[in-house]
Amino acid sequence: MITLNKLAPKISKIIERRFHLNDNTSKKAFSLKISAAWRRFDELSELPCDDIKYHPEYKKRAADIIIVTVAFLKHYGCKDIEGEIKRAIDLLSEESER
């Protein structure tokens, strides 16, 4: 299985080249890239479908959000992206059990 932690360095390099990001790039700039990916994803909400398996563009745009977010985490020093996701899931799980 491919893991986010192993993919993060490659993703980070791709995103940095694609958007001309560097060590001086602000968190706000990354936030705007994530927001733009969300907006592109949201554009598809007008499509009349309940199942995305026949709409590969949904999957592509959802993956774009994840990719830019992984690049953000890597760029700003997160060493264990999967661990952060697991902790967030655990917190959500605990909250839903209350």
Q: What is the pLDDT of residues 47-71, one digit of tens each?
A: 777 778 888 899 999 999 999 999 9
Contact 21, 15 (CB under 8 A): yes
Q: Is the pLDDT of residue 85 over 80?
A: yes
Encoded amino acid at 77, one letter: G
Half-sphere exposure for 52 (CA within 13 Å, toward CB):
12
pLDDT of 2: 67
**Token code pair at residue 84:** 């952060």
pLDDT digits (tens, 9 = 90+) for 15-36: 989 888 888 889 999 999 999 9
What is the mean pLDDT of the segment spanning 31-42? 95
DSSP state of 43: G
Instruction: Pick 54 or 87 by higher pLDDT.
Output: 87
| CA dihedral for 24, 29, 7, 17, sign (positive or negative) | negative
Phi and psi torsions of 10, nearest 5°: -65, -45
pTM score, whole prediction: 0.85
Q: How far apart are CA 37 and CA 18, in angstroms?
A: 13
Q: Is the pLDDT of residue 89 over 70?
A: yes
Domains of the chain, residue spans: 6-97
